[in-house]
A and B are shown apart, each in its own frame.
Chain A
Amino acid sequence: MMQALPVDVGLPRFKNQRSRLKRNTLLFRYFAIINLIIGLWYLQWRFNNSINFNLLWLSIPLLLAEIYSYINGSMFILGLWRPIERQIKPLDQLTPAFPAKDLPTVDVFITCYSEPVELVQATLEAALHIDYPTTKLRVYVLDDGNSPAMKAMVEQRCAEDLASPELVAAAEQIQAEQAQLQAQLDRLHQLTPEAQAAEDFLENLPESLESQDTDRPLRFLQVLQKFFTFQNGQHRSINEQLLAEEKRLKQAIARQNYALSNLPRCLYIARPKPQGRPHHAKAGNINYALFAGGTTGDFILTLDADHLPDRNIVKHVLPYFFTYNPNCGKYESNRIAIVQTPQDFYNLPKGDPFGHSAHLFYGPIQQGKDGFNAAFYTGTNAVLRREALVNTGLKYFSKAYEKDASRLDEFDLIGGISSISITEDMNTAMRLHAAGWQSIYHNEVLAKGLAPDDLSSTLKQRLRWAQGTIQVLLQENPWMKPGLTFWQQLQYFQTMYSYFSGFATFIFLLCPIVYFFTGGIPVDSYGLDFALHFTPAFILNRITFLTIAWGVPASELWRSEQYAVALFPLFIQAVWSVLTRRPIKFQVTPKQRQSGIYLNLVMPQLTIFCLTTVGIVWRGGLWLAGQPIDPWVYGLNIAWSVYNLALLWVIIQAAIWQPQRA
């Protein structure tokens, strides 16, 4: 579809990666500028000429809602100003080749909470099959549910894995090397006493022998000893050399021992969760593995329990983290901290009733953010650089510790991934960006997961995103955050700002209803004048949007627009709950379908839907009964209502949606 292969071996031989502006960007910019100007022109007309002073309680909120939406749209458009497409060669096709011995170690973190064992097992299986040298890849199941069945499953899989030919071969190799080292050490031990004695003899020759200069062999021996002990311009005695060699060998053997004990590459970590202490949800789970779980990988691939990784995920993503330095002929670590890949689902029902398909976000939007070095980390299907995560985490920890020394007890839960909100991912990326690290969006699907397929779970997930994002805004406002560039601040703020849309949406839905039942309209002139100002702004807005979203299926764009409106009660609830500081619990998105019909969850939307429909009929009835009305105003309100109904329909449909029985 829109998957322009980012992994391209067709790159010039000595170019490992390149990025370019997305197609249609110049056209988009052209429309974007006109759009911003026309929008401003419409707003000033609304402000100066069309406020209905007889209905101030509605006309002022409507004007505010329109201003809010204009700012929202403008920031959205500006955020897409520089969308980039990247191409990169996979790890084993880089020029010059990446030395196998320098390959970094990679840890895969599979986070789970209460998911069924089989689901996690499938992910574990896929993770173990990731194409990467076996001794450099480890898979950890981070089980926050602490379930014995999960533990048993991982341990059994670990035993099987240890018996696999690759690991057996690796173990044999290590043992062989160890045996060789041991043999060397033994030989050294054998030689040591004699060698020491010989050295003693040569250094302290008895007077009687020294005087006889005819004894040439002895002199030769002395010279040889001097020669062999001559190192780096100074003499080190044989004894010292032996000791150094012994130390070196012992260290090498210890290293092999360590390698042998670390051969298991499929491990289970479950943290203790003492009562009465904050657990910091998913952030706490990952941090515990980072600091207390004995994990050591240079890079961390985070996967949600249900996300099956492609076997190429590591090799296609790792090259971003290194830059070839031709001056010293080596691949060096760069400042990239995160490479995010798209989220995709393998269980989407036909028509995607819950709007999970996210080709707009994992496409133009992330590419736009990438263009400003602000690609978001979304918690799964991303590779993180451990050094960046821990370094930045330590900085924030020391700040927290300065304020309250008792937070030391929590270090293993808060020292890495940010724990101040229930959307730990966004805040973590923001902190990394502020600390000068960079992020990349790699537009190739390399993992597929399960989307919640019932309304209740979907709503929980969306509520969590909304609440978490607003929490971050309150705790770490991007505009106040030193270290972020203006464009990064804009990207983060835009996302946060967009979650306040619930109030504006409510006003937009309310206006036609007020008209139908009372005849009052918030706009002074709903006639030709209004159409003249509104239509160009609206149409241009659509065209601009289509240019940048080129390639994303129209049905999906429509679905995302529907959900942006239909979720308005949820957005209002999110803002309300955060502002009133009600305690928010991290709700793990259920992976199994919760059956049932959920009309009770969509009461506000259903009410608006019914009122609008009844309203159309009611006003029509009044007209037929002979009440004089302006057909222009009536017509416009009907058009507006139909649009609203079409948007709201999605959530009502989702509430009664049932999977097709096979």
Chain B
Amino acid sequence: MTTIGTKLQFSIILEATLVCATVQVIYPTGLLDSIQGNQLRQEINQLVDNGHPCILIDCRDVELMDSSGLSALVMAFQKVRSVGGTLGLRAINDQVRMLLELTAMDGIFQIFPKEGSPQEAMMKQ
């Protein structure tokens, strides 16, 4: 756990040039598949276009995520990065973590354990 923590801090320091005055939190629910993923991606695109490049996806109510859902997150990540923003995941369940590890995507997203964690506070700096 500590190693993940340092890794996260490191990546956040790398992105310290960002100014995230506010972090928008999104709460998807249920099955995050290609259909939900598309909707989520559109939502995030809108947020970014409205000037909110820092987005946190709270996955506490996500029961299952498939690869298409994950690819939608990568597309969203692409979008936020294109305007210099950042995208984090919070409170992911074990299934989602497994999927992320299996596809080696856990190195791409910032992952926060739960609401109000110290790492998350750094995102807002």
Once the chains are docked, how many angstroms separate the CA of A411 from the CA of B74?
Answer: 8
Binds B, one of A90-98, A188-196, A401-409, A563-571: A401-409
- Shortest distance between the CB of A86 and any CB in chain B (Å): 27
Once the chains are docked, how many angstroms separate the CA of A421 from the CA of B105?
Answer: 24
Once the chains are docked, how many angstroms separate the CA of A315 from the CA of B38?
Answer: 27
- Shortest distance between the CB of B77 and any CB in chain A (Å): 7
Residues 83 to 125 of chain B near chain A (Cβ within 8 Å): 102-105, 107-108
- Shortest distance between the CB of A243 and any CB in chain B (Å): 15
A394–B78 CB distance below 8 A: no
| A351-381 vs B, Cβ < 8 Å mask (1 yes, 0 no) | 0000000000000000000000000000000
Given contacts A296-B35, A386-B34, A409-B82, contact A415 B71 (CB under 8 A): yes
Contacts of B74 in A (CB 8 A): 291, 394, 397, 408, 411, 415
Chain B residue at minimal CB-CB distance from A402:
B107
A391–B75 CB distance below 8 A: no
Pick from B67, B70, B78, B105: contact of A412, CB under 8 Å = B78
Contacts of A387 in B (CB 8 A): 66-68
Q: Does A237 interact with chain B (Cβ within 8 Å)? A: no
Residues 257 to 304 of chain A near chain B (Cβ within 8 Å): 258, 290-292, 294-297
Pick from B35, B39, B72, B78: contact of A408, CB under 8 Å = B78
Chain B residue at minimal CB-CB distance from A410:
B78
Once the chains are docked, how many angstroms separate the CA of A415 from the CA of B74?
Answer: 10
- Shortest distance between the CB of A489 and any CB in chain B (Å): 23
A398–B108 CB distance below 8 A: yes
Once the chains are docked, how many angstroms separate the CA of A558 from the CA of B57?
Answer: 62
Q: Which label, helix, strand, loop or mixed, suits the secondary structure of the B interface?
A: helix
Contacts of A290 in B (CB 8 A): 71
Interface residues on A, range: 20 to 34
B75–A412 CB distance below 8 A: yes
Pick from A258, A297, A394: contact of B103, CB under 8 Å = A394
Contacts of A409 in B (CB 8 A): 78, 82
B67–A394 CB distance below 8 A: yes
Once the chains are docked, how many angstroms separate the CA of A291 from the CA of B67?
Answer: 11
Chain A residue at minimal CB-CB distance from B37:
A296
Once the chains are docked, how many angstroms separate the CA of A294 from the CA of B107?
Answer: 26
Q: Does B81 interact with chain A (Cβ within 8 Å)? A: yes
A399–B104 CB distance below 8 A: yes
| B31-48 vs A, Cβ < 8 Å mask (1 yes, 0 no) | 001110011000000000
B34–A292 CB distance below 8 A: no
Contacts of B33 in A (CB 8 A): 296
A408–B68 CB distance below 8 A: no
Once the chains are docked, how many angstroms separate the CA of A409 from the CA of B67?
Answer: 19
A296–B34 CB distance below 8 A: yes
A398–B103 CB distance below 8 A: yes
Q: In this complex, which of B70, B71, B74 has the most chain A Cβ atoms within 10 angstroms of its Cβ?
A: B71
| A315-347 vs B, Cβ < 8 Å mask (1 yes, 0 no) | 000000000000000000000000000000000
A398–B104 CB distance below 8 A: yes
Pick from A258, A295, A397, A416: contact of B34, CB under 8 Å = A295
Q: Does A395 interact with chain B (Cβ within 8 Å)? A: yes
A408–B67 CB distance below 8 A: no
Residues 2 to 48 of chain B near chain A (Cβ within 8 Å): 33-35, 38-39
Once the chains are docked, how many angstroms separate the CA of A411 from the CA of B38?
Answer: 15
Residues 571 to 600 of chain A near chain B (Cβ within 8 Å): none
Q: Does A390 interact with chain B (Cβ within 8 Å)? A: yes
Once the chains are docked, how many angstroms separate the CA of A387 from the CA of B81?
Answer: 25
Given contacts A390-B68, A411-B78, A415-B74, contact A395 B34 (CB under 8 A): no
A391–B78 CB distance below 8 A: no
Chain B residue at minimal CB-CB distance from A389:
B67
Chain B residue at minimal CB-CB distance from A262:
B35
Give 5 closest A-B pairs by Cβ, nearest first. Answer: A398-B104, A391-B67, A296-B34, A390-B67, A394-B103
Q: Which residues of A contact B (CB under 8 A)?
A: 258, 290-292, 294-297, 386-387, 390-391, 393-395, 397-399, 401-402, 408-409, 411-412, 415-416
Could you list 18 A-B pairs, sorted by A, with CB under 8 Å?
A290-B71, A296-B35, A296-B38, A390-B71, A391-B67, A391-B103, A394-B71, A394-B74, A394-B103, A395-B103, A397-B74, A398-B105, A402-B104, A402-B107, A408-B74, A408-B78, A408-B81, A409-B78
